[in-house]
């Protein structure tokens, strides 16, 4: 999948900044211009109460002494504004800032200018509510709006999607709407997630007849708001242990008015030890404690985002009391005619087994659980096109016998003979579908699919376990470090299909992937600038390093077909060339033996020629 507009390499940012400083100019982003196209999908002026028109201003035009970060970062810095969603302004200021986001498995850098939407006097979106000189919230929001397309794309989105993009975490949500189905151990699950570095939130949905983006309830909570969960505690009170959550309103105002609120009898009457444990600060900062039972009564869902080791913030990374999740990441695709098998509904039941299959062996039970089970959190992420989920996605989890044949083909082990342990539930038009499973130790197959057969999309699958798990792939794993287009994926699958069956068996997948890794390693020796491309003038040496003898005429054809205007050939195209050359050599030798040709010749009929050239 192509990266969103505006994503740059570090050297591009530094070069651009040096050029601006040299010419004494301030950056104006050509990819995210200060106009209505950056504000809304339609390009029309957004409707904002009290704002006649949006005026784009730099921080220096709003305050005397702007700062990117002032006196450190805090969750209390952020005031959300009307949206639902170490750089400075002195030394080497050029009007551009950069941020890193986790975009479908890879950290990417986004640069923006510091022209921000205002009403002429103050920022109209994210800002520091108590210190208007601090601008990291507004600039971060602008970079995220650029990543997602515009500011409107941030309004009313899912909290967990934003946290995933900013941290690289894995998202999970717990539905609280049907109170009769809330699991009994939910508090323990939230506590366990908090201990394992998970970021959490809770939200109350708007009623269907609401005509405003928020509705205040009599208890001080707001419908239409996503609250962050910033703490969890259990404190003794009048002979009972009270389970509490600490929540924060992203608007930084209006708090819970019920039991255990800032001015409640409970807070006034607890011991000093309990007050210290809870860190009670009586102030209108939007943060408050609330009984867990009241969370269940009032909120519609809890969102959990589980951090992986390479996505920890400095605060969490330094907390040695907490443990980290083990994570395995796969990138793959549903490709029509190959792996887009659908969910198995009639009349495409047999195509179900063509979906990519992933195997995981759970051996060690959880550290934090005495039930003898293993936690597996699986998240399936569609790589959206134009920020839209185009297909409904889901997955099934089967328990296998140790000796069971892999990959599953529906013949040696029909679907009704397998042990279907878990499903992700209803297929959803969401970017991510995540489910948590508590499973017995054993071998499991996870099969992700679209609801409809033949629907095409790229996806990422992440598996989280408390203890390391053995996992393997039984489909076209093309590696998290190589991003293939669908066309490139089709070509490689076809070229690795040695028996020309139209699909890859397990041995072909393993062999093909090992070959890709070997070719990639040698390719990188010639990739001098780390751009995943090689100068076409180096092709002769590169082929020699791989043991290929390719004459000049063939090299010319390769360069004209696969080289770009800068005389570069990309890694993905190079891999296609290598597999194509290998297959063409094999077909030539095969035909040579069939027709009795000499060392340099083989004869083909017209139909044979057409068949082989179409296949290559």
Give catalytic residues, as residue numbers: 225, 249
Instruction: Output the six-digit token pair for 531.
Output: 């751009």
Answer for the pair 116, 56: CB distance below 8 angstroms, yes or no. yes
Alpha-carbon distances, residue 524 vs 122, 149, 570 (angstroms): 50, 33, 11
Structure tokens at 28: 């104006």
**Residue 96 φ then ψ, to 5°:** -130, 145
Placement of tokens 């290998």 in the chain: 582
What is the rounded distance in angstroms from the CA atom of residue 584 to the CA atom of residue 612?
A: 8
Give the whole-angstrom CA distance, residue 441 versus residue 282: 48
Q: What's the rounded Cα separation, in Å, for the pair 190 and 185?
A: 9
187 vs 176: CA distance, rounded Å = 13
Phi, psi for residue 212 in degrees, rounded to 5: -130, 155
Which residues pair with residue 359 across a beta bridge?
445, 472
| Rounded CA separation 405/478 (Å) | 23
Q: Sort 173 into a burial class: Cβ within 10 Å, 0-12 / 13-18 / 19+.
A: buried
How far, in Å, CA of 615 to CA of 609, rounded? 10
407 upstream amide cis, omega within 30 of 0 = yes
Exposed, middle or buried: residue 528 (CB in 10 Å: 0-12, 13-18, 19+)? exposed
Sequence-separated (6 or more) residues with CB below 8 Å from residue 261: 220, 255, 267, 288, 289, 290
CA distance between the termini of the chain: 23
């Amino acid at each position: 999948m192509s990266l969103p507009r505006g994503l740059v390499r570090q050297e591009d940012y530094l070069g651009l900044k040096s050029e601006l400083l040299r010419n004494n100019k301030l950056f104006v982003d050509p990819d995210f211009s200060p106009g209505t196209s950056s504000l809304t999908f339609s390009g029309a002026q957004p409707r904002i109460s009290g704002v006649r028109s949006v005026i784009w201003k730099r921080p220096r035009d709003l305050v005397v002494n702007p700062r990117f970060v002032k006196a450190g970062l805090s969750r209390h810095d952020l005031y959300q504004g009307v949206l639902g969603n170490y750089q400075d302004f002195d030394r080497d200021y050029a009007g551009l800032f950069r941020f890193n986001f986790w975009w479908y498995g890879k950290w990417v850098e986004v640069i923006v200018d510091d022209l921000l939407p205002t009403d002429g006097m103050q920022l109209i979106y994210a800002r520091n509510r108590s210190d208007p000189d601090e601008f990291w919230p507004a600039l971060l929001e602008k970079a995220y709006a650029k990543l997602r397309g515009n500011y409107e794309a941030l309004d009313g989105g899912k909290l967990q999607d934003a946290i995933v993009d900013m941290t690289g975490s894995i998202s999970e949500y717990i539905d609280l709407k049907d109170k009769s189905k809330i699991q009994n151990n939910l508090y323990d699950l939230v506590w366990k997630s908090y201990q394992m570095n998970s970021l959490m939130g809770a939200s109350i949905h708007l009623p269907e007849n609401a005509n405003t983006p928020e509705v205040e309830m009599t208890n001080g909570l707001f419908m239409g708001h996503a609250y962050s969960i910033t703490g969890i505690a259990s404190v003794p009170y009048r002979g009972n242990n009270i389970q509490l959550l600490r929540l924060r309103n992203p608007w930084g105002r209006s708090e819970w008015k019920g039991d255990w609120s800032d001015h409640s009898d409970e807070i006034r009457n607890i011991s000093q030890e309990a007050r210290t444990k809870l860190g009670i600060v009586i102030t209108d900062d939007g943060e408050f404690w609330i009984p867990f039972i009241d969370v269940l009564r009032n909120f519609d869902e809890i969102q959990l985002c589980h951090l992986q080791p390479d996505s920890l913030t400095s605060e969490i990374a330094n907390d040695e009391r907490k443990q980290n999740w083990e994570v395995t990441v796969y990138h793959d695709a549903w490709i029509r005619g190959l792996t887009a098998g659908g969910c198995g509904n009639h009349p495409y039941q047999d195509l179900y087994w063509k979906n990519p299959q992933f195997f995981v062996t759970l051996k060690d039970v959880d550290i934090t659980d005495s039930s003898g089970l293993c936690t597996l959190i699986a998240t399936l992420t569609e790589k959206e096109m134009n920020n839209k989920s185009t297909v409904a996605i889901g997955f099934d989890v089967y328990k296998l016998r140790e000796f069971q044949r892999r990959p599953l083909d529906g013949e040696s082990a029909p679907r009704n003979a397998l042990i279907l342990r878990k499903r992700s539930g209803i297929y959803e038009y969401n970017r991510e579908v995540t489910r948590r499973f508590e499973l017995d130790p054993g071998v499991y197959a996870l099969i992700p699919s679209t609801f409809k057969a033949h629907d095409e999309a790229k996806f990422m699958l992440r598996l989280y376990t408390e203890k390391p798990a053995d996992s393997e792939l039984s489909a076209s794993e093309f590696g998290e470090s190589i991003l293939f287009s669908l066309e490139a994926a089709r070509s490689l699958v076809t070229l690795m299909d040695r028996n020309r069956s139209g699909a890859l068996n397990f041995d072909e997948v393993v062999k093909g992937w090992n070959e890709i890794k070997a070719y990639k390693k040698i390719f990188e020796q010639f990739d001098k600038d780390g751009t995943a491309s090689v100068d076409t003038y180096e092709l002769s040496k590169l082929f020699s390093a791989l043991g290929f003898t390719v004459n000049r005429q063939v090299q010319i054809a390769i360069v004209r077909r696969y080289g770009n205007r800068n005389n570069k050939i990309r890694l993905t195209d190079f891999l296609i060339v290598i597999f194509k050359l290998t297959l063409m050599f094999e077909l030539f030798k095969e035909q040579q033996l069939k027709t009795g040709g000499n060392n340099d010749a083989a004869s083909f009929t017209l139909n044979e020629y057409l068949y082989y050239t179409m296949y290559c």
